[in-house]
A and B are shown apart, each in its own frame.
Chain A
Amino acid sequence: MHNVVKSELKSGALVERAETLAVVAVSHHGRLRVPSFASNVFRIAARELRDSARSRWFLLYTAAFVALGLGVSYVSAASSGGSGLSGFGRTTAGLINLVILVVPLMALSAGAGSIASDRERGMLAYMLAQPITRLELLLGKFTGLAAVLLTSICLGFGVCAAILAWKGSRADPVALASLVGLTFLLAMSMLGTGLLISVATRKSSVAMGVAIFSWLTLVFVSDLGLMAGAVALRMRIENLFALSLVNPMQVFKMWALVSSDTSLDVLGPAGLYATDTWGAGVTWIFACVMVLWIILPLTAAAAIFSRRSPI
């Protein structure tokens, strides 16, 4: 293990990592105080935030998200020619699509990469040698990465809102604000899933592979399967709707539609069924599913992590 740490200490970034942690330990020692749960979580989060914000994946994904958001808002504002007819139309639809494609990929790979790569490089054992518990470490990682994702999302949507304001689009700012919130929820659910993948795998390459596969499944394969199932099995619309609620991407999409004042009857018979059956209460269903998608993977990750060797 020492060899691994040594070999990694050669790279500049890791030297800095190790130093930071050492500083944390020394300063605790200096104050002669057992650090609290919250302060430990915060320290890990701050470190994770700092490391990730400087990493290449963050820059890459953020740049991609900002560029695509810019494109979507610019094109949609231009296509309606300032005609003011766009309403919901293309902007929000385009943004929903963009979020479903990019944000889960970002969150899954960030989560999957974090603990697995620490373990692979021996950093995990080193960190757990400090006076912190595994739960603190996990929550710290989650919080730090969530802050990174929040930054990325805010940048993307901030630029998008600026373009829409500049172009005089009639897109509703409240709808856009709620889209930002929902995007963050989706990101957190996928981040939790990513961390689950991360604690369950030994190698970071495997974790990354599983993360990409999960993304593909959630974004494309499950929908395609459900479409095929709906046609082949002549599925009843209530069952189709219930099954689609399992997928956080679908829940995000429907919630975003509702929060932008678009009736779910846009989505055909299944949406009409949802509106008729639950009315405005359908939002609570979406909220429950989303919260479950954040809590359950994180709990599972904590359970697995507590039983695993740090090496």
Chain B
Amino acid sequence: MRYGGIIIAAIGLTCWPQVVFGSLDISQLISAAKAGDTVLVPAGVYRGEIQIDKPLKLIGVGRPTLDGGGNGDIITVTAPDVEIRGFRICGTGIDLDKENCAIRVNAARVTIVDNILDDVLFGIDLKESPDSVIRGNHIGGKVLDVARRGDGLRLWRADRTIVEDNEIHNGRDAILWYSTDVIVRNNRSHDGRYGFHLMFSNGVTIEKNDLFDNSVGVYLMYSSKLKLIGNRMLRNRGPSGYGLGLKETDDFLVQGNIFVGNCVGIYIDGSPFATPDSGRITENTFSANDTGVEFLPAVKGNHLWSNSFIDNFEQIAILGRGELTGNEFDRDERGNFWSDYPGYDRDGDGVGEANYESRLLFENLTAREPSLRLFMFSPIHQAVEFIARAVPAVRPEPKFTDYYPLIEPPIEHGAELGSSTSLVMVALSAVLLSIAAAVLGIVFFSPIRDAMRERRAVAVT
């Protein structure tokens, strides 16, 4: 019988929901259990470290709290096939040298499901743990300066692990080291440094995650065979605020993602690196970012097609000076949609007849002298562009050319972000218009008042 050895912590049940002190009980239950048992832990607050050294299921009933009291680690797993479910775990130490951690795993095939981790330095730390499952956890880091934080989630050689439906925030990174074929799906990672960070991890799929208010949404480094599909990167800002960063990464497909309000939508540094022509970026929407896609000067081998670039302050940028000739902005005679494309479509095939060329003088100036960005949004910005159009001699060479610019955005991504008539906006409009109406009313009805006053004055004299 599989669940033959269910042990119920009677002590906990009788005095529920009182506080149970010490690690005595849970550790005792674990040492009393046999491999393959299920240990049910009733609600309550439990202190002290817990070691799980045999394969078993540790399941919280009524969400018991494991409180580290601000010291050391909380759960350490050294046996494979362990499941941890239904706990609230809080208060690890803050020692970065010892990497104080809520759930530390040094074994394969663990399942960590439906836990709430609060005020933890490191959240879940898997080392040499292939085929694990991290699902539906909430991992909240410590409110510390970012340099003193730990990683909300760390995978080290945890191949084929599934990370899904988690919420990770206020940590440093959610990071994958040397872990191949991992699936990262439906997570929310926010207010951290890197939403997800890949180091030397190949064959990873990252899909439908929300990454917002981080320094970088997803940073892919030294990895290959990656898929990023249907994620949303919003408001990732700061000195290096990227929706997606690509550093020396090969063979990547970035498809159907939304990049809104980031400093830079995608930052491309030396990617693709070893496999030529292996960068594919398609069907993404870049909107209201300071820069849509930023390339380092020597980058080549990327294909961008069927993307929408909508009202980014700078659609495509090259850091420093350089050309983008090694990258292609179309595939099968389909380019990208550019909101500032002035051309038209005569033959109705959805592709504009004139090329899209990016040759804005102000962008050219700011590329050379970034401090000049201070003058963005000023009339002088427009004046500089006007001069460039009027005096072709000062107009810069095009940074790149899209030979098949699209007339309509190929994918309509905005709908899912919602668009509605705001009642507050209606009210604001009404207030403003009635102020104006009141003043004008006083002005244009005053002749009547004057006439009355004049009659009165005449009567007095």
Q: A: which residues have CB within 8 A of B?
A: 20, 23, 26-27, 29-31, 46, 49-50, 53-54, 79-90, 93, 96-97, 100-101, 147-148, 150-152, 154-155, 157-159, 161-162, 164-166, 168-171, 173-174, 176-177, 180, 219-220, 223-224, 226-227, 230-231, 235, 237, 240-241, 244, 249-250, 253, 257, 263, 265-272
Contact = CB atoms under 8 A, between A and B. Distances in A.
Looking at B378, B431, B456, the one whose CB has the most chain A CB atoms below 10 A away is: B378
Interface stretch (B11-19, B44-52, B235-243, B296-304): B235-243
Q: Is the interface of B mostly helix, strand, loop or mixed?
A: helix
Contact of B414 (A46, A83, A253): A83
Contacts of A87: 260-261, 287-288
A244 B425 contact: no
A31 B461 CA distance: 10
Contacts of B442: 49
A240 B373 CA distance: 11
Contacts of A171: 425
Interface in B374-418: 374-383, 409, 412-415, 417-418
A97 B382 contact: yes
A47 to B, nearest CB: 10
Contact of A165 (B370, B380, B425): B425
Interface in B336-351: 339
Q: Interface SS of chain A: helix, strand, loop or mixed?
A: helix
B421 A220 contact: no
B419 A23 contact: no
B310 A85 contact: yes
B311 A79 contact: yes
Highest count of chain A CB atoms <10 Å: which of B261, B288, B311, B444:
B311
A191 B276 CA distance: 62
Contacts of A253: 377-378
A268 B378 contact: no
A118 B238 CA distance: 54
Given A170-B420, A268-B372, 15 more contacts: A50-B443, A97-B379, A158-B432, A164-B425, A165-B426, A168-B420, A223-B379, A227-B365, A240-B371, A265-B237, A267-B376, A268-B370, A268-B376, A270-B371, A270-B374
A266 B371 CA distance: 11
B439 interface: yes
Interface in B266-325: 285, 287-288, 290, 310-311, 313
B436 A151 contact: yes
A272 B366 CA distance: 15
Contact of B287 (A89, A152, A159, A235): A89
B169 to A, nearest CB: 19
Contact of B432 (A54, A154, A271): A154
Given A230-B369, A249-B378, A84 B439 contact: no
Contacts of B370: 268-269
B435 interface: yes
Interface stretch (B29-37, B133-141, B142-150, B446-454): B446-454
B274 to A, nearest CB: 34
A241 B371 CA distance: 9
B245 to A, nearest CB: 17
A85 B457 contact: no
Nearest to B439: A151
B433 interface: yes
Given A50-B446, A158-B433, A180-B432, A265 B261 contact: no
Contacts of A166: 421
A162 B409 contact: no
Given A23-B453, A53-B440, A85 B287 contact: yes
Contacts of A159: 429, 433
Given A50-B443, A86-B311, A271 B429 contact: no
Given A257-B377, A268-B366, A27 B372 contact: no
Contact of B457 (A26, A170, A240): A26
A102 B136 CA distance: 54
B378 to A, nearest CB: 6
Contact of A227 (B339, B380, B430, B454): B380
A86 B313 CA distance: 12
B428 interface: yes
A148 B373 CA distance: 35
A240 B372 CA distance: 9
A161 B261 contact: no
Contact of B425 (A79, A161, A219, A257): A161
Contacts of B383: 220, 224
Nearest to B458: A26
B1 interface: no
Given A83-B412, A223-B378, A268-B373, A49 B439 contact: yes
B461 A90 contact: no
B436 A158 contact: yes
Contact of B374 (A26, A30, A267): A267
Contacts of B241: 265
Contacts of B436: 151-152, 154-155, 158
A193 to B, nearest CB: 18
8 contacts: A53-B443, A79-B339, A85-B310, A152-B436, A161-B428, A165-B429, A219-B379, A230-B372
Contacts of B424: 173-174
A33 to B, nearest CB: 12
B27 to A, nearest CB: 47
A240 B366 CA distance: 14
A150 B377 CA distance: 23
Contact of A86 (B239, B288, B409): B288
Closest 5 pairs between A and B when the two form their complex, measured CB to CB: A83-B414, A268-B373, A158-B432, A161-B429, A84-B419
Contact of A83 (B381, B415, B421): B415
B214 to A, nearest CB: 14
Given A49-B439, A79-B339, A165 B412 contact: no
Nearest to A20: B450
Contacts of B381: 97
Contacts of A177: 428
A150 B439 contact: yes
Contacts of A101: 379
Given A164-B425, A267-B374, A30 B380 contact: no
